[in-house]
A and B are shown apart, each in its own frame.
Chain A
Amino acid sequence: MSGIALTPVLLQLERAPGPLRPQIEAALCSHGQPLRWAITAVQPRLQQPALLQVEAIVCRRVEGG
C-alpha cells in the first residue's frame, strides 16, 4: 500500500539564464513533486551568477503509507 509524505527542502541554486520558475521547479522535482515553494533569499556574487535560496515542501509517494 502506498501513501504520500511531505518533505521540507532547502536548496541553494545557481541562477541560469532564462525564466526562473522552470529552473526552480526542475531542481525541486528531483526531491519530489513541489507543493509550495518560494525564493527566500538572493545572494549576488562577483562575476558569477547569483545564488538563489529556495525553501519548499515537496510531496513524495512512499510505500506503506
Chain B
Amino acid sequence: MGSAPPLPTLLVVPTGIGCAIGGHAGDALPAARLLAGASGCLITHPNVMNGAALYWSDPRIHYVEGSSLDRFAAGELLLRPVRRQRLGLLLDAGIESELRQRHLQVADGCRATLGLAIGPVVTTAVPLEVSLSLGASGVSWGQLGQPEALLQAGRQLKAAGATAIAVVTRFPDDPDSAGLAAYRQGSGVDALAGAEAVISHLLSRELGLPCAHAPALCPLPLDPELDPRAAGEELGHTFLPCVLVGLSRAPDLLPHPGSDQAAATAVASTLAIDAVGAVIAPAGALGGAAVLACAERGIPVIAVNNPCLLDVSAEALGLQVLTASSYAEAAGLVLALREGIAPEALRRPLLALR
C-alpha cells in the first residue's frame, strides 16, 4: 500500500433487507476487511461484523452500532478509539436457565481466552417480550414489549462502570417456519435482524454507550444443505462471541462539541464526520439516514451492486454516486480516493473538457 494517509470510510449494509452480501451471518466481513485495507480506516456496524461464533478484530475497523453510526454521519457524535471497553452484559429475564448459563460461559470464555474485560452482569426485572415482524416492503422489523425494563437494566450497568453493553434477549423460536428454512438455504431475509437493530438502537441512544445485541435461541436441528453464509450461526450455542469481541474495542461515543473551540481541542484525537472520505452502501438501499446524511455533506457515495429486497436507487433519490459492480471494485475506488486519483480517470470513455 502507498504512503497516502488513511481515508476514513463508512460501510453500511442495512440489516434485514436480504442483501446477497451481508444479509446472513456476518458475511460482509470479507468485504469489510478488504475495504479496511484499501481505506486504512473503516467505520461500520455490527450487522457487517457479527458472525455469531465467528468474528475478526482489526484495529483499522471501528465497530459502531447503527443508530450511533447515523448520528456520527449527521455530525452529532464523535468517535474516540480506545484500547478496550469494560463490557456490561445485559440478560433478558425471559432467557431460560440453561440458555442463560451458556451465555455466561461464552462471556467467561472470552475473559479467559481472549482477555476481554467483562462484567458486571445485570438481568432485566421482567422478560423483555421480543416479537418479530415484516414491514410493508418485506424487510424485517421487530418490537419490544418492555422497553423500559431494558433501559433500567442498561442504566444499572452504566452506573456500575460498564463502558459498553452487550445485550442478549430471548427471541421467539420458530424452527419450522418457511422464512427460517429459506434463510438457512441462503435466500430471504434475516427475520431476527430488524428487532435486534431496534433493541441496540434504543439502548445506545438512551445511554450514549456502544451497544450490540445477540439473540438467545434454542439450537436448530442439523441441516446438511445449510448455506455457508448462515453457517456462522450454527457453530455454537450462542451468537454472543462476535458481539463481545466487536464491542471490546468499539470507539467511545462523544457528543459533537459544535463550534466550541476549547471543547473541540479537548477531543482532538477523535474521529469526526468531516474526516470521512467515502460512504459505501448497496445500490438498492441508499435511503437510510447515514447515507443520506453523507450525501448532504458532499461525501462521495459508492453504490455497490449487492442485490436486496429494496430498489431505492441513486436515480430514484436523485443522488450523485460512484457505481461499483462489486466490493472489490468499491475497494479500488476507495484506494483511488485515498491516493487522490479522480475516479473518472479510471473509466472510459473519458470525455474531453469543453
Q: Are B141 and A8 neighbours in the complex by a CB distance under 8 Å?
A: yes
Q: Does A26 contact B (CB under 8 A)?
A: no
> Contact mask A39-51 → B, CB, 8 Å, 1/0?
1111010000010
Q: What is the minimal beta-carbon distance from A25 to any residue of chain B, in angstroms?
A: 8
Q: Does A29 contact B (CB under 8 A)?
A: no
Stretch at the interface among B47-55, B98-106, B181-189, B194-202: B194-202
On chain A, the number of residues with a Cβ less than 8 Å from chain B's Cβ atoms is 25
Q: Are B136 and A42 neighbours in the complex by a CB distance under 8 Å?
A: no
Q: Tell me which of B135, B147, B289, B311 contacts A5 (CB under 8 A).
A: B147
Q: Are B296 and A19 neighbours in the complex by a CB distance under 8 Å?
A: yes
Q: Are B151 and A40 neighbours in the complex by a CB distance under 8 Å?
A: no
Please name all residues of chain B whose beta carbon is closer than 8 Å to the beta carbon of A38 when the two chains form the complex. Answer: 14, 139, 285, 287-289, 310, 312
> Contact mask B55-73 → A, CB, 8 Å, 1/0?
0000000000011000000
Please name all residues of chain B whose beta carbon is closer than 8 Å to the beta carbon of A10 when the two chains form the complex. Answer: 135-136
Q: Are A39 and B139 neighbours in the complex by a CB distance under 8 Å?
A: no
Q: Tell me which of A8, A37, A42 contacts B143 (CB under 8 A).
A: A8
Please name all residues of chain A whose beta carbon is closer than 8 Å to the beta carbon of B287 when the two chains form the complex. Answer: 20, 38-40, 42, 52
Q: Tell me which of B135, B148, B197 contacts A65 (CB under 8 A).
A: B148
Q: Are A53 and B133 neighbours in the complex by a CB distance under 8 Å?
A: no
Please name all residues of chain A whose beta carbon is closer than 8 Å to the beta carbon of B350 when the two chains form the complex. Answer: none
In the complex the two chains form, what is the Cα distance from A39 to B310 in whole Å?
9
In the complex the two chains form, what is the Cα distance from A44 to B198 in whole Å?
30
Residues of chain B in range 114-172 having any CB-CB distance to chain A below 8 Å = 133, 135-137, 139, 141, 143-144, 147-148, 151
Q: What is the minimal beta-carbon distance from B192 to any residue of chain A, in angstroms?
A: 15
Given the contacts A3-B148, A37-B289, A55 and B317 also touching, CB distance less than 8 Å: no
Q: Are B14 and A6 neighbours in the complex by a CB distance under 8 Å?
A: no
Q: What is the minimal beta-carbon distance from B149 to any residue of chain A, in angstroms?
A: 9
Q: What is the minimal beta-carbon distance from B10 to any residue of chain A, in angstroms?
A: 15
Residues of chain B in range 191-213 having any CB-CB distance to chain A below 8 Å = 197-198, 201-202, 205
In the complex the two chains form, what is the Cα distance from A22 to B313 in whole Å?
19
Q: Are B135 and A21 neighbours in the complex by a CB distance under 8 Å?
A: no
Q: Does B316 contact A (CB under 8 A)?
A: yes
Please name all residues of chain B whose beta carbon is closer than 8 Å to the beta carbon of A65 when the two chains form the complex. Answer: 148
Q: Are A44 and B289 neighbours in the complex by a CB distance under 8 Å?
A: no
In the complex the two chains form, what is the Cα distance from A12 to B316 in whole Å?
15
Q: Are A55 and B143 neighbours in the complex by a CB distance under 8 Å?
A: no
Q: What is the minimal beta-carbon distance from A41 to any residue of chain B, in angstroms?
A: 6
Please name all residues of chain B whose beta carbon is closer than 8 Å to the beta carbon of A57 when the two chains form the complex. Answer: 141, 143, 198
In the complex the two chains form, what is the Cα distance from A35 to B135 in whole Å?
15
Of chain A, the residue at the smallest CB distance from B151 is A4
Q: What is the minimal beta-carbon distance from B307 to any residue of chain A, in angstroms?
A: 15
Q: What is the minimal beta-carbon distance from A20 to any residue of chain B, in angstroms?
A: 5
Q: Does B226 contact A (CB under 8 A)?
A: no
Given the contacts A4-B151, A35-B198, A20 and B317 also touching, CB distance less than 8 Å: yes
Q: Are A41 and B133 neighbours in the complex by a CB distance under 8 Å?
A: no
Which A positions have Cβ atoms within 8 angstroms of B? Answer: 3-6, 8, 10, 19-21, 35-42, 44, 50, 52-53, 55, 57, 59, 65
9 new A-B pairs (CB below 8 Å) besides A6-B198, A36-B67, A38-B139?
A10-B135, A10-B136, A19-B292, A35-B198, A35-B201, A35-B205, A38-B14, A40-B137, A40-B287
Which B positions have Cβ atoms within 8 angstroms of A? Answer: 14, 66-67, 74, 133, 135-137, 139, 141, 143-144, 147-148, 151, 197-198, 201-202, 205, 285, 287-289, 292-293, 296, 310-313, 316-317
Q: List 17 A-B contacts (CB under 8 A).
A: A4-B147, A4-B148, A6-B147, A20-B317, A21-B74, A35-B205, A36-B67, A36-B198, A38-B287, A39-B312, A40-B135, A41-B310, A42-B311, A42-B312, A44-B316, A52-B287, A59-B147
